[in-house]
Amino acid sequence: MKKIIIIGAGLAGLTAGIYARQSGFETTIYESHTIPGGASTSWRKKGYYFEGGLHWLTGSSPKTQLYRLWREVGAIDDTVEIYNRDPFFSFEQDGKRACLYRNIEKLRAHLTELSPADKKEIDKLCADIRKFTKAEMPVMDLPKLKAKYPAKFLIGKLLSMIPAMARMKYYQNLSAREYAEKFQNPQIRNLLIEMIGEEYSASSAMFTIATLAAGDGGYPAGGSVAMAGRMARYFESLGGHIVYKTPVEKVIVSNGVATGVVIAGEAISADAVIVTKDALSAIDTLFDEPIHEPWADKMRRETTPVLDVFIGLGVEADLHELPESVTFPLREPIRFGNLSFGCIGINNYAGFAGYAPEGCTTLTTVLIGDSYDFWKQCKENGIYETEKQKLADAVIRAVEEKFPQTIGKIAVSDVATPLTYERYLGSYKGSWMSIMKKGQGTVQYPVKPDSIQNLYFAGQRLISPGGTPVALMSGREAVQHLCLDTDSVFQAND
């Protein structure tokens, strides 16, 4: 039996591990953290549970092709309830709220009532959402792969995507802001901008809305940690090993072949290595010589990483009556580093049992932008903790101003910066996805480099914009390449 080493027990590493075990490889995952899940994580502080990863899972709907894969790797099973938040997102300004409802007709009626002047553009939007609901990530096998249960190529599915493909260029060539500006109403405009961020292409916004409208993008009960835990247990039940608190220092490459890894100065041999640490960081840090193939240079050159500062709040009040997700403008922008936020979005977990002590509520916000250098400088100058607290205080003030029922009741705050993510994930600047900007289509990088044999990459960075579906698909693809290279049968449970 061939011996495989996987670096990282995030969702890509766990996926690769499960398929590798099922396909008959002796598999060990080395993970630097104490728990599985990587960026898909959550944590507790003083009784408050902060969901720091999953907000929605593409492929949570049984109607999608990805759903089968999530089930194959044990992320979802019949016991896992999926919660489809609706409205998924909203923007509130001047006492009016624009809501992103999942039902297309409900969305059309709601937006038209809010802004009759935008009726024509709203109708166009809703017609396109309907087309985009048919577009999904196709699940296929590599050519020539011997698979025990080959993926079925569904020609009907492919044909149904044609109307969306025909509209894709239009949205790809607009930024989210440019598209939003076609609407007169400020709440609708801001809804479209704030939902994904103004820098993104409008096609990202369209895919997001359509995923929700298709009944997908739910939240599996228990969230990130529970899902990663199910996958890790499944991997171990198949005979796989996860070694935690064990960072891999280097991949050993001899004569152009990956032959193992170095851990704590010691060489551990393997027949193949799958790297799921962020590829953008791995190509420069995990090898004696940085990898300089054309795809790796393109990744270095063209990636715009997604970084955030995550702020979790524990509120000693029951906030059931507040929306589950609402973004609103601030009287004073929140500023840190070279970033300025005129609005913030709050996720309200009041409806989630066990996420806060009885009668209390967990709120979270994710401030997206590249503030890496700022936090690095704060650390060097010894003011990192002070600046984190200053930011938490600014968010608390904003929340109290918007929701007076929280005044004096925000008892707990927790701030994770890009340095926190970098420390836990080892990813480039602590990032966890990539931005697909105006004019950019999806970029796909190879799972298998040309210059090093028996080496495979998997993880969020391999197909922009990334996220959990890419971790899943690339983990699967890495093992399919491994099967091809070793003339093995790719196996998954039926």
Ligand X SMILES: Cc1cc2nc3c(=O)[nH]c(=O)nc-3n(C[C@H](O)[C@H](O)[C@H](O)COP(=O)(O)OP(=O)(O)OC[C@H]3O[C@@H](n4cnc5c(N)ncnc54)[C@H](O)[C@@H]3O)c2cc1C
Provide the 3-class DSSP secondary structure of residue 284: helix
Nearest-angstrom CA–CA distance, 120 and 105:
14
Nearest-angstrom CA–CA distance, 58 and 216:
6
Assess 85 for contact with ligand X (CB under 6 A).
Answer: no
- Which of 310, 403, 428, 457 binds ligand X (CB under 6 A)? It is 310
Nearest to 410 by CA among 363, 373, 444: 363
Based on CB atoms, which residue is closest to ligand X, 96 or 245?
245
Assess 287 for contact with ligand X (CB under 6 A).
Answer: no
Nearest-angstrom CA–CA distance, 390 and 310:
14
CA 174-179-184 angle, to 5 degrees, is 160
Assess 193 for contact with ligand X (CB under 6 A).
Answer: no
Assess 278 for contact with ligand X (CB under 6 A).
Answer: yes
Least distance (Å) between residue 447 CB and ligand X:
12
Count the residues in the chain. Answer: 494
Provide the 3-class DSSP secondary structure of residue 116: helix
CA 477 to chain CA centroid, nearest Å = 18
Assess 223 for contact with ligand X (CB under 6 A).
Answer: no
Please report the sign of the dihedral spanned by the C-alpha atoms of residue 331, residue 334, residue 340, residue 345. negative
159: burial class by Cβ within 10 Å (0-12, 13-18, 19+)?
exposed
- Which of 28, 133, 203, 276 binds ligand X (CB under 6 A)? It is 276
Nearest-angstrom CA–CA distance, 176 and 164:
17
- Which of 2, 55, 71, 448 binds ligand X (CB under 6 A)? It is 55
Assess 53 for contact with ligand X (CB under 6 A).
Answer: yes
Based on CB atoms, which residue is closest to ligand X, 366 or 484?
366
Assess 248 for contact with ligand X (CB under 6 A).
Answer: yes
Assess 250 for contact with ligand X (CB under 6 A).
Answer: no
Find the part of the chain contacting ligand X (CB under 6 A) among 71-79, 160-168, 355-363, 421-429.
Answer: 421-429
Q: What would the two tokens of residue 332 be?
A: 């004073």
Site mask, ligand X, residues 335-374, x = CB under 6 A? Answer: -------------------------------x--------
CA 303 to chain CA centroid, nearest Å = 16
Least distance (Å) between residue 424 CB and ligand X:
6
Find the part of the chain contacting ligand X (CB under 6 A) among 47-55, 182-190, 230-238, 377-385.
Answer: 47-55
Interface contacts to ligand X, rule CB under 6 A: 7-13, 30-33, 38-40, 52-56, 58, 247-248, 276-278, 308, 310, 366, 424-427, 432-433, 459-460, 466-468, 471
